Amino acid sequence: MMLQLPNLPNEKVKIGESAANNAEVRTWGEKAGFDFKPKTHVELCESLKLVDFARGAKLSGSGFFFILVGGRVWNGH
């Protein structure tokens, strides 16, 4: 039965129109400083050949990806 219940947000969470409306509630530690432009998680995964977003999106639609192990698609076997 619990698997059928939706994941409801807390009543105190304000509804915004986009991610730009998200409020920063708290931070921990200090932000790292870089002398280069950091890559996004998508750029890192693709450059290290850890995932294949293009193939996953082609097969299943936007937001899906294949996990690659040793340059091959991992199927769990």
How far, in Å, CA of 46 to CA of 44, rounded?
A: 6
Residue 34's pLDDT is 92
Q: Which long-range contacts (CB under 8 A, 24 or more apart) does 67-75 make?
A: none
For 46, the 3-state DSSP assignment is helix
pTM of the model: 0.50
Which whole-number Å values give the CA distances from 62 to 14, 42, 46, in the listed order?
Answer: 27, 13, 16
Task: Give first-to-last CA distance, the chain, whole Å.
Answer: 30
Which parts of the chain sit beneath pLDDT 70? 2, 71-72, 74-77
Residue 37's pLDDT is 94
